[in-house]
Structure 1
Amino acid sequence: MTTTRTVLITGCSSGFGEASACLFAKNGWNVIATMRNPTTVCEEYPNILIARLDVQDQTSIKSAVAAGVAHFGRIDVVINNAGYGLSGVFEGTPRARIQDQFEVNVFGVMDVIRETLPHFRQNRAGLYVNVSSGAGVFGLPMISLYNASKFALEGFSESLSYELSALGIGVKIVEPGGVTKTKFGERSGSEFSLTTTPEDYDAFIAGASGIFNGLREASASTASEHVAQVIYRAATDGTDQLRYVATDDIRPFIEKRRGSSEEEYMRFMRERMTPSC
């Protein structure tokens, strides 16, 4: 007898999370769709449980996991998708905002994993799919703190994969670039106006904005549903592949980072990422 599998997904109110919840439900999975402010998603599917989960609130993490297990009996896959991108030059970014960036993108992932690991260990099975970014592989101007959080997530995920493999638990990383129809950079209830940035950076910021406009144009045709397909493949392909590049716009950068010398890579990046000031 085939048992229906269950996935818990964080950050399901929009973007990759919402698209993934719908895709897994469409393919017959039980879905625990979690979000900070619960709202209805994928209404056409009855096999979805909506639960409140704020990755900065450990009580909500415990409650969501417990509710999912109580409702469906078990959890087989956890997709750590919740996150956001903080932008601006480092010197103009208040420490509190940096702390917030890491609490969501790194410590929140760790807390979700910590809460679900005993369940996976008991079952001697389970899989984590952590949604990273091209910014977890290569650096970009104006998003040094987002870069730092995703670099940390990549290192943590790879190391954790070695620790958990002996227990029958897998870890995978999905690396998207830019896509349309997401709320990247949005996080209600917080203020990210970088009003303290010294004027010395004005020319740099203007030039960097041009770089990002070019990157956005390169990703304009990619939708969240495409990334959801890659997340689904990572969760279901049965391999021990660690990293999945999810969008074509970042492939040239990742190929240079992973397939060339440091000198060649830095020359490639500086030609593209150094603003004309």
Structure 2
Amino acid sequence: MKKTILITGTSSGLGKTAAIHFAAKGWNVIATMRSPEKEQELTKLDNILVTKLDVQQPATIASAIQIGIDTFGQIDVLVNNAGYGEFGLFENTPEDQVSMQFDVNVFGVMNTIRTILPHFREKKAGTIINISSGAGRFTLPLISLYAASKFALEGFSEALSFELAALGIGVKIVEPGGASTNFSNVSGEKFSGKTPIADYNPFLNAAGQLFATLQGQRLATSEEVAEVIYTAVTDGTDTLRYVVGNEDFKNRMKARSTMPDQDYINSIKDSYLKFM
């Protein structure tokens, strides 16, 4: 019997690539997105069911899971991929955008997992893959909200893995990353509706030069991340975390876990303070 995977956030990027990757491996794929009526590529592929799921609308979560079970008989794997990054100065970020960052990256994941767990418990099997980020393990300037959401996701995933292991349900975290960042996308003054705060200008300029030094380094491709997700699903281990990215990214991840805490914090400060 073919296995079935439900993936959130498949309208573009990693989610779409993962859907195509699993379908090519012979899986049934429930490819979910907020606006399935706009999808033109996945609907043409065999073994892929495209349906609506908006992690901020619980009714659509329940509906997508039920449609997937009705279509394919069961769901074996859930990939929580839907998410986005809120970048910029915390003080400049409106409260509604703070709430949305957690609604999508944390509470949406929790609601999707809670909804599918009765099905997994009935089968006494299932795998949950939560897509995190290097920002769930280490931070950089101007990503306080995104990092906070991913730190929350990591803590939730790790604790949940203990709860569900006894039921035959696995929880795994995939941590994609890379060093290249376009500072024009993270500068506070680039956000619509945000008024620049002049007091931060020296810091913003320094952070901009920090990010400029990271430009051009190769990011992990969506195909590479999709392959790691496939490995996490099929390797038969209880490994919790899977890291995928370039050597700089992997070195940052290693440094965060091996360096004395204050030494690591000082190294990040030094990387941008030298520009001030």
Residues 179 and 223, structure 1, Cα contact 8 Å, conserved in 2: no
- Cross-structure match for 1:196: 195
| Residue identity (%) | 52
**Long gaps (5+) in structure 1:** 186-190
Question: How many residues are aligned here?
Answer: 266
Task: Give the letter aligned to residue 98 of structure 2.
Answer: I
Deviations 1:51-97 (A, max 9, x none): 11111011111111111011001000000000000111111111110
Cα distance in 2, alignment partners of residues 179 and 68 from structure 1? 37
- Cross-structure match for 2:250: 251
User: Does the C-alpha gap of structure 1 residues 89 and 73 become closer, same or farther in structure 2, counting only changes over 3 Å?
Assistant: same
Matched residue SS, 1:28 = coil
Cα distance in 2, alignment partners of residues 31 and 126 from structure 1? 15
Residues 178 and 216, structure 1, Cα contact 8 Å, conserved in 2: no
Residues 128 and 172, structure 2, Cα contact 8 Å, conserved in 1: yes
Tell me by how many angstroms 1:152 deviates: 0.3
- Cross-structure match for 1:90: 90
TM alignment of 1:223-234, pairs within 5 A: 223-234=221-232
Matched residue SS, 2:170 = strand
Matched residue SS, 1:140 = coil
Cα distance in 2, alignment partners of residues 25 and 88 from structure 1? 37
Deviations 1:8-63 (A, max 9, x none): 00000111101100000000000000011111334563100001111101111111
- Cross-structure match for 2:136: 136
Deviations 1:227-252 (A, max 9, x none): 11111111111100000111124111
Deviations 1:91-116 (A, max 9, x none): 11111100000000000000100110
Cα distance in 2, alignment partners of residues 194 and 239 from structure 1? 47
User: Does the C-alpha gap of structure 1 residues 179 and 273 become closer, same or farther in structure 2, counting only changes over 3 Å?
Assistant: closer
- Cross-structure match for 2:147: 147
Say if 2:118 is the partner of 1:123: no
- Cross-structure match for 2:265: 266
Tell me by how many angstroms 1:164 deviates: 0.3
- Cross-structure match for 2:12: 14
Residues 76 and 126, structure 2, Cα contact 8 Å, conserved in 1: yes
Task: Give the letter aligned to residue 62 of structure 1.
Answer: A
Residues 133 and 175, structure 2, Cα contact 8 Å, conserved in 1: yes
**Long gaps (5+) in structure 2:** none
Matched residue SS, 1:217 = coil
TM-score normalised by the chain length of structure 2: 0.91
Matched residue SS, 1:122 = helix
Moved over 4 A (4+): none
Cα distance in 2, alignment partners of residues 62 and 49 from structure 1? 15
TM alignment of 1:50-129, pairs within 5 A: 50-129=50-129
User: Does the C-alpha gap of structure 1 residues 273 and 136 become closer, same or farther in structure 2, counting only changes over 3 Å?
Assistant: farther
Task: Give the letter aligned to residue 23 of structure 2.
Answer: A
- Cross-structure match for 1:33: 31
Cα distance in 1, alignment partners of residues 171 and 272 from structure 2? 31
Matched residue SS, 1:7 = strand
- Cross-structure match for 2:209: 210
Cα distance in 1, alignment partners of residues 274 and 26 from structure 2? 48
